[in-house]
A = this chain, B = another copy of it.
Amino acid sequence: MVDVPQLVEQARQGRPRAVARLISLVEGAAPELREVMATLAPLTGNAYVVGLTGSPGVGKSTTTSALVTAYRKTGKRVGVLAVDPSSPFSGGALLGDRVRMSEHASDPGVYIRSMATRGHLGGLAWAAPQAIRVLDAAGCDVVLVETVGVGQSEVEIASQADTSVVLLAPGMGDGIQAAKAGILEIGDVYVVNKADRDGADATARELNHMLGLGEARAPGDWRPPIVKTVAARSEGVDEVVEALEKHRAWMEEHGVLAQRRRARAAREVETIAVTALRERIGDLRGDRRLDALAERIVGGETDPYRAADELVDGLTNGG
């Protein structure tokens, strides 16, 4: 039996193994999942959640790593959730990247967790928010969620952050790729990384045009900044942090932060509820009620819609 309150206490004291254990419990849908979530609830809400997404090769992990360094300089505790099987955080990339990450691995103020695409019901949309909650409750001031912006669920996760950062790089036909993947719409801050390469200005201009940033906006509207970086040399990274802080301040001023967090919580509840309902129906296979309904359909006494109504009513009156 896992002693959940003790584990949570250890996590809050900054013990990385306790944090890791808690994340494993919530992402694996362990029997303790509900107890963990209930224990964490009053401890959450402090972390600023930043989503980073972009096509493979734009330098997401390098940027994430540079951001970790920047935030650590100001004394903040940082959590990293890498939802990307090719991320060096998941051990799947170039040696140079891994070396860069390994600085953080020994820093007690940094938690790094990778999360591969999961096969079970609800998938990433279900598991990622739980892991964020653990990092939040464990005392992270900032949680960086790195997702590869190619799948629907990855884009969804990034868009559910407090602030979404969309990364591009010059010369990858990247604007079009990003537009196709639907990540252009979700950015609060845009980063053109590898800005020392040819075409960085063109990419920034193209982006500026595609986003309609030249157009007039209502006063008080957020105008997503485009920041040029060379993350591998930490150039421009302080400007990214500055842009993030500005966006955060803007959200707080306009009530957007609370609104986004409510929307995120609502999505979480929905996902969990749908999963639960689906499981309840799944449990009915071989159940006499479903068998009896099927029998009546085959006999022409009822139709699948009326049968489904009966089934749903049965479920909702105590299962």
Q: Which A residues form the contact surface with B (CB < 8 A)? A: 33-34, 37-38, 40-45, 129-130, 133, 258, 261-263, 265-266, 268-270, 272-274, 276-278, 281-282, 284-285, 290-291, 293-295, 297-309, 311-312, 315-319
Contacts and interface: CB of A to CB of B under 8 A. Distances in A.
Contact of A304 (B43, B269, B285, B304): B269
Contacts of A312: 273, 276-277, 316
B274 A304 contact: no
A298 B38 contact: no
Contact of A37 (B129, B133, B276, B304): B304
Nearest to A293: B269
Contacts of A276: 308-309, 312
7 contacts: A38-B303, A41-B300, A133-B303, A268-B297, A269-B297, A272-B308, A273-B311
Given A291-B266, A294-B265, A273 B308 contact: yes
> Which 9 pairs show the lowest CB-CB distances between chains A and B?
A316-B316, A272-B308, A265-B297, A265-B294, A41-B303, A37-B303, A266-B294, A273-B308, A262-B294
A56 B294 CA distance: 34
B262 A300 contact: no
Nearest to A26: B305
B281 A262 contact: no
Given A273-B312, A276-B312, A302 B262 contact: no
Specify the main secondary structure of chain A where it touches its partner: helix
Nearest to A295: B262
A297 B41 contact: yes
Contacts of A295: 262, 265
A274 B129 CA distance: 23
Contacts of A40: 303
Contacts of A307: 265, 269, 272
Contacts of A278: 274, 277
A319 B297 CA distance: 25
Nearest to A39: B303
A139 to B, nearest CB: 14
Interface centre among A41, A304, A309 (most CB of B within 10 A): A304
A271 to B, nearest CB: 8
B298 A45 contact: yes
B303 A45 contact: no
Contact of A315 (B38, B129, B316): B316
Nearest to A311: B273
Contacts of A316: 312, 315-319
Contact of A281 (B42, B129, B274, B297): B274
Contacts of A308: 269-270, 272-273, 276
Given A281-B270, A304-B129, A298 B33 contact: no
A203 to B, nearest CB: 33
B34 A305 contact: yes
